Copies of this chain bind each other. A is one copy, B any other.
Amino acid sequence: MERIITLTTDFGAGDGFVGMMKGVILSINPRAVIVDITHDLAPHHIEQGAFLFANAARYFPPRAIHVVVVDPGVGSARRPLAMQLGETLFVAPDNGVLTHAIDHWRLSVAHPKIRAVRLANPAYFLPRISNTFHGRDLFAPVAAHLSLGVPLDALGTPLDDWVELERVAARRLGERIIGRVAHIDHFGNIVTNIEEEMLAGLDRARLVIRIGKRALRGIQTTYASAAPGDTLALISSSWHLEIAVREGNAAQSLGIRLGDAVVVETQI
Protein backbone atom coordinates (compact mmCIF):
# COMPACT_ATOMS: atom_id res chain seq x y z
CA MET A 1 0.00 0.00 0.00
CA GLU A 2 1.26 3.41 -0.89
CA ARG A 3 1.40 5.50 2.21
CA ILE A 4 3.65 8.35 3.29
CA ILE A 5 6.11 7.64 6.10
CA THR A 6 8.09 10.69 7.22
CA LEU A 7 11.36 10.52 9.13
CA THR A 8 12.58 13.18 11.58
CA THR A 9 15.75 12.42 13.55
CA ASP A 10 18.98 13.77 15.00
CA PHE A 11 20.99 11.04 13.21
CA GLY A 12 22.76 13.23 10.65
CA ALA A 13 23.37 12.11 7.12
CA GLY A 14 26.86 10.67 7.32
CA ASP A 15 26.58 7.27 8.96
CA GLY A 16 23.94 5.50 6.93
CA PHE A 17 21.59 5.30 9.94
CA VAL A 18 18.74 6.83 7.97
CA GLY A 19 19.51 4.60 4.99
CA MET A 20 19.17 1.57 7.26
CA MET A 21 15.76 2.74 8.47
CA LYS A 22 14.64 3.12 4.87
CA GLY A 23 15.92 -0.36 4.03
CA VAL A 24 13.95 -1.79 6.94
CA ILE A 25 10.76 0.03 5.91
CA LEU A 26 11.03 -0.98 2.24
CA SER A 27 11.74 -4.59 3.21
CA ILE A 28 8.34 -4.66 4.94
CA ASN A 29 6.36 -2.36 2.63
CA PRO A 30 8.04 -1.89 -0.76
CA ARG A 31 5.42 0.69 -1.73
CA ALA A 32 5.91 3.02 1.23
CA VAL A 33 6.62 6.62 0.17
CA ILE A 34 9.40 7.71 2.53
CA VAL A 35 9.98 11.44 3.04
CA ASP A 36 12.75 13.02 5.10
CA ILE A 37 11.67 15.97 7.23
CA THR A 38 15.13 16.48 8.70
CA HIS A 39 17.94 14.40 10.16
CA ASP A 40 19.96 17.35 11.42
CA LEU A 41 18.13 18.10 14.64
CA ALA A 42 20.50 19.13 17.40
CA PRO A 43 21.68 15.81 18.92
CA HIS A 44 19.60 14.73 21.94
CA HIS A 45 17.68 18.04 21.97
CA ILE A 46 14.10 16.84 22.48
CA GLU A 47 12.59 20.30 22.82
CA GLN A 48 13.95 21.67 19.55
CA GLY A 49 12.99 18.45 17.77
CA ALA A 50 9.42 18.73 19.06
CA PHE A 51 9.19 22.34 17.84
CA LEU A 52 10.57 21.72 14.35
CA PHE A 53 8.70 18.48 13.82
CA ALA A 54 5.32 20.01 14.64
CA ASN A 55 6.00 22.95 12.32
CA ALA A 56 6.66 20.58 9.42
CA ALA A 57 4.17 17.79 10.10
CA ARG A 58 1.14 20.02 9.63
CA TYR A 59 2.01 20.36 5.92
CA PHE A 60 1.63 16.62 5.28
CA PRO A 61 -1.53 14.78 4.28
CA PRO A 62 -3.64 13.59 7.24
CA ARG A 63 -2.98 9.93 6.49
CA ALA A 64 0.80 10.28 6.86
CA ILE A 65 2.74 8.18 9.36
CA HIS A 66 5.41 10.18 11.17
CA VAL A 67 8.49 8.59 12.73
CA VAL A 68 10.28 10.97 15.11
CA VAL A 69 13.47 9.80 16.77
CA VAL A 70 15.36 12.05 19.14
CA ASP A 71 16.11 9.42 21.69
CA PRO A 72 18.79 10.07 24.31
CA GLY A 73 17.14 7.45 26.52
CA VAL A 74 17.35 4.64 23.95
CA GLY A 75 17.73 1.26 25.61
CA SER A 76 16.63 2.59 29.03
CA ALA A 77 13.21 2.34 30.67
CA ARG A 78 11.72 5.05 28.45
CA ARG A 79 8.81 3.55 26.57
CA PRO A 80 8.46 3.32 22.79
CA LEU A 81 5.03 4.37 21.58
CA ALA A 82 2.68 4.74 18.66
CA MET A 83 -0.01 7.41 18.73
CA GLN A 84 -3.05 8.23 16.62
CA LEU A 85 -4.42 11.76 16.22
CA GLY A 86 -7.32 11.63 13.81
CA GLU A 87 -6.08 9.80 10.74
CA THR A 88 -2.45 10.65 11.44
CA LEU A 89 -0.10 8.12 13.05
CA PHE A 90 3.07 8.82 15.01
CA VAL A 91 5.84 6.46 16.11
CA ALA A 92 8.39 7.78 18.60
CA PRO A 93 10.08 7.31 21.95
CA ASP A 94 7.83 8.44 24.79
CA ASN A 95 9.95 11.41 25.81
CA GLY A 96 7.87 14.42 24.84
CA VAL A 97 9.11 14.80 21.27
CA LEU A 98 5.48 14.76 20.05
CA THR A 99 4.36 17.52 22.47
CA HIS A 100 3.93 20.35 19.98
CA ALA A 101 2.28 18.08 17.41
CA ILE A 102 -0.23 17.06 20.07
CA ASP A 103 -0.82 20.73 20.97
CA HIS A 104 -1.41 21.54 17.32
CA TRP A 105 -3.94 18.71 17.08
CA ARG A 106 -5.73 19.87 20.21
CA LEU A 107 -6.07 23.35 18.74
CA SER A 108 -7.25 22.27 15.30
CA VAL A 109 -10.17 19.99 16.05
CA ALA A 110 -13.28 20.40 18.15
CA HIS A 111 -13.09 17.09 19.98
CA PRO A 112 -9.48 15.95 20.01
CA LYS A 113 -9.18 12.26 20.82
CA ILE A 114 -5.77 10.71 21.35
CA ARG A 115 -5.05 7.00 21.22
CA ALA A 116 -1.64 5.69 22.17
CA VAL A 117 -0.04 2.31 22.74
CA ARG A 118 3.21 1.26 24.28
CA LEU A 119 5.03 -0.76 21.63
CA ALA A 120 5.37 -4.25 23.03
CA ASN A 121 4.66 -6.79 20.31
CA PRO A 122 7.97 -8.18 19.00
CA ALA A 123 6.21 -9.57 15.94
CA TYR A 124 6.42 -6.04 14.54
CA PHE A 125 10.05 -5.36 15.50
CA LEU A 126 13.23 -6.56 13.82
CA PRO A 127 14.24 -10.02 15.06
CA ARG A 128 17.42 -8.70 16.68
CA ILE A 129 17.06 -5.51 18.72
CA SER A 130 20.07 -3.40 19.63
CA ASN A 131 20.20 -1.24 22.74
CA THR A 132 21.35 1.80 20.83
CA PHE A 133 19.29 2.10 17.65
CA HIS A 134 15.56 1.65 18.15
CA GLY A 135 14.98 3.90 15.12
CA ARG A 136 16.02 0.98 12.97
CA ASP A 137 14.98 -1.95 15.16
CA LEU A 138 11.60 -0.79 16.54
CA PHE A 139 10.29 2.47 15.14
CA ALA A 140 10.97 1.88 11.43
CA PRO A 141 9.45 -1.63 11.30
CA VAL A 142 6.43 -0.55 13.37
CA ALA A 143 5.78 2.36 10.98
CA ALA A 144 6.10 0.03 8.00
CA HIS A 145 3.60 -2.42 9.51
CA LEU A 146 1.21 0.45 10.26
CA SER A 147 1.49 1.51 6.62
CA LEU A 148 0.30 -2.00 5.66
CA GLY A 149 -2.80 -1.56 7.79
CA VAL A 150 -1.80 -3.25 11.06
CA PRO A 151 -4.11 -1.71 13.68
CA LEU A 152 -2.67 0.32 16.54
CA ASP A 153 -4.05 -2.12 19.12
CA ALA A 154 -2.02 -4.98 17.70
CA LEU A 155 1.24 -3.22 18.50
CA GLY A 156 1.09 -3.21 22.26
CA THR A 157 -0.86 -2.12 25.29
CA PRO A 158 -2.87 1.10 25.67
CA LEU A 159 -0.96 4.03 27.13
CA ASP A 160 -2.67 6.99 28.83
CA ASP A 161 0.17 8.74 30.62
CA TRP A 162 2.49 9.60 27.76
CA VAL A 163 5.15 12.20 28.45
CA GLU A 164 4.60 15.80 27.38
CA LEU A 165 7.25 18.51 27.69
CA GLU A 166 6.67 21.32 30.11
CA ARG A 167 5.32 24.19 28.01
CA VAL A 168 7.67 27.14 28.08
CA ALA A 169 5.24 29.33 26.18
CA ALA A 170 5.79 33.00 25.75
CA ARG A 171 3.63 35.02 28.16
CA ARG A 172 2.31 38.49 28.57
CA LEU A 173 3.35 40.40 31.68
CA GLY A 174 1.69 43.81 31.77
CA GLU A 175 3.16 45.85 28.92
CA ARG A 176 5.64 43.16 27.96
CA ILE A 177 5.63 39.87 26.11
CA ILE A 178 8.39 37.60 27.41
CA GLY A 179 9.58 34.85 25.11
CA ARG A 180 12.73 33.03 24.10
CA VAL A 181 14.64 31.74 21.11
CA ALA A 182 13.07 28.44 20.03
CA HIS A 183 15.13 27.81 16.91
CA ILE A 184 17.95 29.25 14.83
CA ASP A 185 17.58 28.25 11.22
CA HIS A 186 20.06 27.50 8.42
CA PHE A 187 20.25 31.17 7.47
CA GLY A 188 20.90 32.25 11.06
CA ASN A 189 17.39 33.63 11.38
CA ILE A 190 16.25 33.69 15.01
CA VAL A 191 12.82 32.14 15.49
CA THR A 192 11.17 32.86 18.86
CA ASN A 193 8.34 31.11 20.67
CA ILE A 194 6.20 34.26 20.46
CA GLU A 195 3.29 33.38 18.22
CA GLU A 196 1.82 35.92 15.83
CA GLU A 197 -1.52 35.66 17.64
CA MET A 198 0.04 37.25 20.74
CA LEU A 199 0.53 40.45 18.75
CA ALA A 200 -3.11 40.72 17.73
CA GLY A 201 -4.52 44.20 18.27
CA LEU A 202 -1.14 45.81 18.87
CA ASP A 203 0.34 48.56 16.71
CA ARG A 204 3.16 46.60 15.07
CA ALA A 205 5.02 49.70 13.93
CA ARG A 206 5.44 50.93 17.52
CA LEU A 207 6.50 47.71 19.22
CA VAL A 208 10.06 47.49 20.53
CA ILE A 209 11.77 44.09 20.37
CA ARG A 210 14.69 43.52 22.72
CA ILE A 211 17.11 40.66 22.08
CA GLY A 212 20.71 40.43 23.28
CA LYS A 213 22.01 44.00 23.34
CA ARG A 214 19.75 45.13 20.55
CA ALA A 215 16.43 46.94 20.48
CA LEU A 216 14.46 46.91 17.24
CA ARG A 217 11.49 49.13 16.57
CA GLY A 218 8.57 47.73 14.67
CA ILE A 219 7.72 44.48 12.97
CA GLN A 220 8.37 44.51 9.25
CA THR A 221 6.47 42.69 6.55
CA THR A 222 9.35 41.05 4.70
CA TYR A 223 13.14 40.69 4.62
CA ALA A 224 13.18 43.22 1.81
CA SER A 225 11.85 45.88 4.19
CA ALA A 226 15.41 46.21 5.50
CA ALA A 227 18.57 47.12 3.64
CA PRO A 228 21.06 44.28 3.06
CA GLY A 229 22.98 43.76 6.30
CA ASP A 230 20.36 45.45 8.48
CA THR A 231 18.59 43.72 11.35
CA LEU A 232 14.81 43.48 11.42
CA ALA A 233 11.92 41.75 13.15
CA LEU A 234 9.19 40.04 11.16
CA ILE A 235 6.83 37.07 11.26
CA SER A 236 8.48 33.73 10.46
CA SER A 237 7.11 31.12 8.08
CA SER A 238 6.05 29.16 11.18
CA TRP A 239 4.07 32.24 12.29
CA HIS A 240 6.34 33.23 15.16
CA LEU A 241 8.20 36.48 15.83
CA GLU A 242 11.55 36.23 14.03
CA ILE A 243 14.65 38.40 14.12
CA ALA A 244 16.74 38.37 10.94
CA VAL A 245 19.56 40.16 9.18
CA ARG A 246 18.71 40.72 5.54
CA GLU A 247 20.99 38.51 3.43
CA GLY A 248 23.01 37.93 6.60
CA ASN A 249 23.22 35.70 9.68
CA ALA A 250 21.35 37.23 12.62
CA ALA A 251 22.33 34.64 15.24
CA GLN A 252 26.01 35.23 14.51
CA SER A 253 25.76 39.00 14.24
CA LEU A 254 23.81 39.35 17.46
CA GLY A 255 25.55 36.52 19.35
CA ILE A 256 22.29 34.76 20.07
CA ARG A 257 21.75 31.13 21.11
CA LEU A 258 18.83 28.76 21.59
CA GLY A 259 16.89 29.66 24.72
CA ASP A 260 18.00 33.30 24.94
CA ALA A 261 15.38 35.80 26.10
CA VAL A 262 13.32 37.96 23.77
CA VAL A 263 11.12 40.78 25.06
CA VAL A 264 8.48 42.72 23.18
CA GLU A 265 7.50 46.04 24.72
CA THR A 266 4.00 46.89 23.70
CA GLN A 267 3.82 50.40 25.12
CA ILE A 268 6.61 52.93 25.00
Contacts and interface: CB of A to CB of B under 8 A. Distances in A.
Nearest to A188: B43
B12 A186 contact: yes
Looking at chain A, what size class is its interface with the partner chain? 35 or more
B130 A74 contact: no
Nearest to A3: B30
Nearest to A61: B27
B72 A222 contact: no
A224 interface: yes
Contact of A2 (B8, B30, B37, B60): B30
B59 A222 contact: no
Stoichiometry, as copies per complex, reads: 3
Given A133-B237, A186-B17, A35 B44 contact: no
A6 B30 contact: no
Interface string A20-57: 10111011001001111111110110000000110111
A230 interface: no
A22 B35 CA distance: 7
A242 interface: yes
Nearest to A43: B187
A223 B75 contact: yes
Contacts of A130: 235-237, 239
A129 to B, nearest CB: 10
A75 B221 contact: yes
B183 A131 contact: no
A247 B56 contact: no
Contacts of A8: 16, 19
Contacts of A237: 17, 130, 132-133, 136-137
B23 A60 contact: yes
A60 B48 CA distance: 31
B43 A19 contact: no
Contacts of A131: 221-223, 234-235
Interface of A: 2, 4, 6, 8, 11-20, 22-24, 26-27, 30, 33-41, 43-44, 52-53, 55-57, 59-61, 64, 72-77, 130-133, 136-137, 183, 185-187, 221-224, 234-237, 239, 242, 246-247
23 contacts: A8-B19, A11-B186, A12-B40, A12-B186, A13-B38, A13-B39, A13-B40, A16-B56, A17-B186, A17-B237, A19-B38, A20-B37, A22-B35, A23-B56, A23-B59, A27-B60, A30-B33, A75-B222, A76-B224, A130-B239, A131-B223, A132-B235, A137-B237
